[in-house]
Amino acid sequence: MSVVNEYKDPMSGKVNHFAKGSIKFVSIKPVKDGPNVVNGVKTTYIKVPGQPDKKIEATHVISFLMQEVDDNNNVVDPQSAGQWISMGEKKLHASHTDKVQVKLDSGYKDILAGMVVSFPLKVSKSGENTYYNGTLSGKVFNILDESKAGQPAPRQSQQSSAPAAQSGGGVKIYGEITEIVGNLATVNDEKNGPGGVVLSDEQLAQVSVGGRMTAFVDMSNGHILNGFKAYGPAGQNSGGSGGKKSSGYDQFGVETGHAINGLKELMGTGYKVKDELETAKAIHRATLDMKAFVAERTGKPVDSNPVGASAGNAILVACSRFNAKSDVSEATILDAAKGVYTKLSEPLYTFISESAKGNDQTPSQPVQERLTTPPAQEAPAMDFDEPPMDFDDDVPF
């Protein structure tokens, strides 16, 4: 039995499809920009006969990389590339952009790598391509086995043209910790993407989501061999291997300084500030909303350093663009900052990152083995003419 299966309805004779397998990887990506995407939210209207059009909002695209299982729910070939299944678009709350949940009769359930699941499929073809679209509706989504949930999938050794940084058979990884489930941490390695790392209780106490870590890891099972060290979020002084902020770091002091810098930019444009304190408060509140905006568009944690830096810079540039006749308020500052981010920061980031890919001839560190087995095909596009299920009804808020 493969991941994608078919069966014939004995009453109608219609051939239906379903997916069954072990989830190797869960992909969560922000929706792509388009004419119906505003502030990171994609809005679609579905016509319903005799009723007002149904409004569906989505912020993220979900895909599962699944592997075939046998009758005992064991993966048939752990080294197989697997099959990508599109699970559609969902609207995720800002605090839930790093997880996928399904509303079952017993309540909301996190869907994790290692689970064996089954669900109906909608199969469609476009030219030579075949797309498999699943559903996260709890009415038809089944969790068959969760005994291995959260465990790292076995990794396939890759041959590289350059020697990988190894120690005692392990490969050195370094990156941000995006998720912690039990003693399994998902580390987004800077070179090779996300992969599972098994931590001891002592190591677990030193890390947190959003922080970073490095170690030499056994690529076959995710166990750390040596060289473990934890750090705080990128751009912070960790003050040691514990990954915690140094005693000299004052978050509220940093936010105070940022608001005052915004006030300084505003006054430098010739705008006559009537109440400096209230204006600084408005800048601070606009910055908090801006961080939420950037987090939704990038899919990164709202408290992560990249989100804070992007939002803060956009606010400062926005403040510098007002003048003596401007209408300055918390709302106008936020709107101006969003314009700076979407019209300047995002396209400039794309330009710089693509230029770096084309011009980078000398990598800063040896090429490493991949943390995850590359899929045989990319996750399919997931724009539906109509949603396969009422999946927007299953998301917690």
Tokens 């699944």 found at: 66
143, two tokens:
């969790």
Give the model confidence (pLDDT) of 48-93 as tens digits. Answer: 888 888 888 999 889 898 989 999 999 998 877 788 899 988 888 7
Look at residue 140 and give its three-state secondary structure.
coil
**Virtual CA dihedral for 301, 305, 311, 317, nearest 10 degrees?**
-170
Element containing residue 228 per DSSP (H, E): strand 224-231
| Average pLDDT of span 294-309 | 80
Q: Which of 92-96, 102-106, 285-289, 313-317 has the lowest mean pLDDT?
A: 92-96
Confidence of residue 178 (pLDDT cuts 50, 70, 90): confident
The DSSP code sequence of 303-369 is TSHHHHHHHHHHHHHHHTT--TT----HHHHHHHHHHHIIIIIHHHHHHHHHHHHHH--S-SSPPPP
pLDDT at 335 over 90: yes
How many Cβ atoms sit within 10 Å of the Cβ of residue 77?
Answer: 10
Measured between alpha carbons, how far is residue 5 from residues 21, 54, 141, 355 in Å?
10, 31, 15, 43
Which letter, b or e, does each residue of 197-233 get, where b requires 16 or more Cβ atoms within 10 Å of its Cβ?
bbbeeebbebbbbbbbbbbbbbbeebebbeebbbbbb
* Phi/psi of residue 100, nearest 5 degrees: -115, 130
Please state, in angstroms and rounded to a whole number, the distance separating the CA atoms of residues 321 and 344: 14
Cβ atoms within 10 Å of 45's Cβ, excluding its own: 11
pLDDT at 383 over 60: no
User: What's the pLDDT tens digit per position in 205-240?
Assistant: 888 888 888 888 876 667 888 888 888 775 554 433
What pTM did the predictor assign?
Answer: 0.42
What pLDDT does 77 receive? 86
Q: Which pLDDT score, from 0 to 100, does residue 234 have?
A: 59
Between 312 and 251, name the one with better pLDDT.
Answer: 312
**Per-residue pLDDT averaged across 357-376, rounded?**
47
Q: Specify the pLDDT at position 154.
A: 45
Which of 22-26, 228-232, 345-349, 366-370 has the lowest average pLDDT? 366-370
